[in-house]
Amino acid sequence: MDPALDPAQPAPAIRVRGLRKLYGDKPAVDRLDLDVPRGCFFGFLGPNGAGKTTTIRMLTGLAQPTAGSIQLLGLSLPEQALQIKCRIGVVPEESLLFERLTGGEFLRFVGRMYGLDRSTAAARAGELLEFFQLDGAPRKLIADYSKGMRKRLMMAAALIHRPELFLMDEPFEGVDAVGARMMKDLLLDQVRQGATIFLTSHVLEVVERLCDRVAILNQGRLVMEAAVRDLRNGAETLEDVFVRLVGAARSPDKLDWLG
Amino acid sequence: MSPLWPLPALLWAQWRSFVNLRAGESRAGRLLPAALALVWYALWTSLALGALVLLSKPARAELAVLLPWGLMSVFLYWQLAPVLAASLGASLDFRKLRIYPVPESRLFAAEVLLRLATGPEMALVLTGAALGLLRNPAVPAWAPLTALPLYVLFNLLAAAGMRGLLERAFTYRWVREALALALVLIAAAPQVLVLRGPSGYLPLLRLHGPSIYWPWVSFGRLAVGWFGPQDWVLAALWSTAAYLFGRWQFGRSLRFEPAAARPQAPVRPRRSMGGERRLRLPSAPLPDPLGAILEKELRSLARSPRFRLVFLMGFSFGFLIWAPLARRPGGFSENYPVLVSVYALLLLAEVIFWNMFGFDRAAASLWFLAPVSFRYVLAGKNLAGAVLVTAEVTVVLAVCALLGVPLHPLKILEAYGVALTLCLYLLAAGNLSSLRFPRPVNPEHSWSRASAGRLQILLLLLYPALGAPVGLAYLARWALDSEAVFFALLAGAAAGGVVFYRASLAGAVRLADRRKEFFVRSLSEGGGPLLTQ
């Protein structure tokens, strides 16, 4: 029996069937089928414009699919959107930060949006600010934050309500090495505690090191999905597979004036 | 969970955003806006007091005619205020809240309440009106206490919808620019009224009062207690319509995807070949890097909505605002083209003189990375300024010719001469101010201030000083009644401008070297292209 259909098995963290998104006539995501098991660290890769961000936007309810179905944690989107949102943490690529708040004010606000009482929201906000090393300038507005600080703040906001599923679009982009290491350790710890992480990244080494499974999207279509362990057993690295599947090798001959 | 959740959190976030908007500024930077706010609210308080006094008079029939006009003005203001508030960043973007588990109905309730915060002036005026009606012995007390709060709710619901609608429309650049220009031209409407004379319009207003089907008429009649059953029906219908409109537009805005609104067709060349040639023409005879810098500046500015607005204003708003003077006897009409040209130059000043690196923002660091003397950079930008001033004066004169304004050849020479001489002085001062007070500016924002607050105050002193040499030429013409003396002194002023310009250019180059770090850091703050918003 297909484990996906076995009622004794918990539903996968993410189940997507025939997902499609058209901008005009152009498909940004084209008939995507994907299952992400619970407790999995899942890397979602693809070149620029492949449809990764559009997929995450659809999974988080920020964009309406043109066709197809989405289930997160066994709940259907958009029908059970509110229950889903209570249980997921999102680090989007675009800034969903209110620029005229300080980091602490924003975290307290987000905590209250997830239904935490004021004192819990304030306490968790303080701890998260300290953990992410954002407590150095408590009066600094988000408008004055660097890109790395913004990503760290979004990560902190995604954690404040203890979600079961994280959807993250380039979470390490612009973050310094120390901050990135801190974030990676935290995410691995979350996975050990049973959370599921779905992230996109351009840094293949990071994905190869952190993720259990990877999928590669190219021009809106899924071109590969595999366990990282299986890839390691093969002759190719993830980078080799990625370049083979999505990028025609370019010869530097055309720039002969460089030689 | 509280039944009001998450309204307190949303209102708190809005309040903190508003407080923080001012808190980050320096004491000096806060002083001017605080003084302006004081004057602004004093004005609205006096209007509210005026409404109180006017509506206390016991003539119900007159009130029923008068009040709808006031309520209509309140409606118009309330619908436009949210758009301006959103552009100032003092309003929450509800699309950012979609990732949180909040039902849409709660978000809509918060949005409706926040509309109250974006139109406090109207709340003030309506409070004055309500107090006036309460003092009026001819009006039953329950009438204003019922009708005016309902009218406020009607306005808030409509404003919530209007904000959503306009916000989506504003994702299209041409809509933003057209509306910005329309608002500017509306600001010149009083000048047109002066031209026609109030006697031409007021009888029309009196004869053709607003139709009884308009909401302000129904609510106005209800508020003075002089109504029929149809007024209740109409008020209820309008309120329901406002709710449905508000909810519909709010929902659409919440789910709006700017990426889907962008055209997906292959990108066409931005300009026709003629337009391309026009942009390349001024730089064609110049060697690089001067030619390259000039071409880059002309292209960037031509594509900047903020620049386009002030350029268009020069020969549209400028015409209207000075139109009453053109009709005066005693020589003003023949000086009209010169006056409009100088006014257009002043409109351009903030964009092309005072903060000329503002649009470059963080990319301004390129000027220090490229193997080019900073003298060329400034000269290239200054040449672009001079070319654009010449173009503006040419358009002003062309519009004058089209409208039949007398154009004597000497006046054409005067318009170019005065504008370009003033341009020399402004460029000289602008080179220094651009390096001393750099401030990043988003070229997409048609309205935001381009130069720093301290510079704005300094300009009050600078303008008369920089205009003095040209003013001297005019003084001589007035005193001696001689065109020859005027043009001789204008030529002298131009020569002085060249000397001043050369000296300031050398100073600006030294200043750029000394203040390089501050300059780049200032232009990289806030509005820099590296940030996501």
Predicted confidence (pLDDT) per residue in A29-72, tens digit: 999 999 999 999 999 999 988 999 999 989 988 888 999 999 99
Q: What interhelical angle do B229-254 and B104-118 show, nearest 10?
A: 110
Chain B residues with CB-CB distance to A114 below 8 A:
100-101
- Confidence band (pLDDT; 50, 70, 90) for B330? low
Query: Which of A209-213, B263-267, B273-277 is predicted least confidently?
Result: B263-267
**Could you say which residues from 257 to 276 on chain B have a Cβ atom under 8 Å away from some Cβ of chain A?**
257, 259-260, 262-265
The whole-number pLDDT of residue B119 equals: 79
The dihedral over CA atoms of B453, B458, B461, B467, expressed in degrees to the nearest 10, equals: -90
Give the mean pLDDT of chain A: 88
Q: Is the pLDDT reported for residue B105 higher than 60?
A: yes
Chain B residues with CB-CB distance to A159 below 8 A:
none
Summarize pLDDT for B243-254 with one digit per residue, the tens. Answer: 999 999 999 998
Contact of B525 with chain A, judged by CB distance below 8 Å, is answered with yes
B469/B197: higher pLDDT: B469
Interface of A with B (CB under 8 A): 23-26, 60-64, 81-86, 90, 92, 94-102, 105, 109-110, 112-115, 139, 141, 143-144, 147, 150
**Could you say which residues from 82 to 141 on chain B have a Cβ atom under 8 Å away from some Cβ of chain A?**
89-90, 92-93, 96-103
Q: Give the count of beta carbons closer than 10 Å to the beta carbon of residue A2.
A: 6
B374/B322: higher pLDDT: B374
ipTM, interface predicted TM-score of the complex = 0.76
Summarize pLDDT for A5-15 with one digit per residue, the tens. Answer: 566 678 999 99
- Confidence band (pLDDT; 50, 70, 90) for A165? very high
- Confidence band (pLDDT; 50, 70, 90) for B273? low
Question: Cβ–Cβ of A114/B96 closer than 8 Å?
Answer: no
**A72, two tokens:** 């997160």
Please state, in angstroms and rounded to a whole number, the distance separating the CA atoms of residues A39 and A42.
9
HEC string of B192-255 equals HHHHHCHHHCHHHHHHCCCCCCCHHHHHHHHHCCCCCHHHHHHHHHHHHHHHHHHHHHHHHHHC
Please state, in angstroms and rounded to a whole number, the distance separating the CA atoms of residues B499 and B424.
10
The whole-number pLDDT of residue B22 equals: 65
The whole-number pLDDT of residue A159 equals: 94
Element (H, E) at B505: helix B483-514
Question: Cβ–Cβ of B20/A23 closer than 8 Å?
Answer: no
Q: Give the rounded distance of the alpha carbon of A233 from its chain centre.
A: 26
Contact of B532 with chain A, judged by CB distance below 8 Å, is answered with yes
The whole-number pLDDT of residue A33 equals: 96
Judged by DSSP in three states, A121 sits in helix
Q: Which residue has the tokens 């131009």?
A: B494
Summarize pLDDT for B431-450 with one digit per residue, the tens. Answer: 998 888 888 877 766 555 55
Q: Is the pLDDT reported for residue B192 higher than 70?
A: no
Q: Is the pLDDT reported for residue B528 higher than 70?
A: no
Q: Give the rounded distance of the alpha carbon of B255 from its chain centre.
A: 29
- Mean pLDDT, to the nearest integer, of B160-171? 84
The whole-number pLDDT of residue B532 equals: 30
Q: Which of B341, B164, B319, B355 is nearest to B242 (CA)?
A: B164
- Confidence band (pLDDT; 50, 70, 90) for A131? very high
CB contact at 8 A, A242 and A230: no
Contact of B461 with chain A, judged by CB distance below 8 Å, is answered with no
- Chain A residue with Cα closest to B102: A82
The whole-number pLDDT of residue B531 equals: 33
Pairing mode, if any, of strands A26-36 and A75-77? unpaired
The whole-number pLDDT of residue A227 equals: 92
Q: Give the count of beta carbons closer than 10 Å to the beta carbon of residue B225.
A: 20
Q: Which amino acid would we find at residue B499?
A: V
CB contact at 8 A, B341 and B417: no
Please state, in angstroms and rounded to a whole number, the distance separating the CA atoms of residues A101 and A111.
14
The whole-number pLDDT of residue B419 equals: 92
Preferred mutation among A56, A60, A85, A100 to probe B, highest tally of B CBs within 10 A: A100
The whole-number pLDDT of residue B213 equals: 87
By Cβ distance, the residue of B12, B90, B99 closest to A85 is B99
The whole-number pLDDT of residue B409 equals: 86
**B350, two tokens:** 């903030």
Judged by DSSP in three states, A30 sits in strand
The whole-number pLDDT of residue B533 equals: 31
Contact of B6 with chain A, judged by CB distance below 8 Å, is answered with yes
**A169, two tokens:** 């679009």
CA dist list (Å): B402 to B327, B342, B395, B396, B398: 17, 19, 10, 10, 6
Question: Cβ–Cβ of B526/A144 closer than 8 Å?
Answer: yes
pLDDT > 90: percent of chain A? 55
By Cβ distance, the residue of B20, B99, B262 closest to A62 is B99
The whole-number pLDDT of residue A138 equals: 82
Summarize pLDDT for A166-186 with one digit per residue, the tens. Answer: 999 999 988 888 889 999 999
The whole-number pLDDT of residue B89 equals: 45
Chain B residues with CB-CB distance to A113 below 8 A:
6, 9, 97, 100-102
- Chain B residue with Cα closest to A23: B260
pLDDT > 70: percent of chain B? 82
A259/B111: higher pLDDT: B111
The whole-number pLDDT of residue B210 equals: 66
Element (H, E) at A76: strand A75-77
Q: Which residues pair with A32 in a beta bridge?
A: A19
Q: Give the count of beta carbons closer than 10 Å to the beta carbon of residue A211.
A: 23
With a CB cutoff of 8 Å and minimum separation 6, the contacts of A131 are: A156, A182, A186
What is the model's pTM? Answer: 0.70
Query: Which of B54-58, B132-136, B471-475 is predicted least confidently?
Result: B54-58
The H-assigned helical ranges of B403-482 are 409-436, 453-480
With a CB cutoff of 8 Å and minimum separation 6, the contacts of B354 are: B430, B433, B434, B437, B450, B451, B455, B459
Chain A residues with CB-CB distance to B263 below 8 A:
24
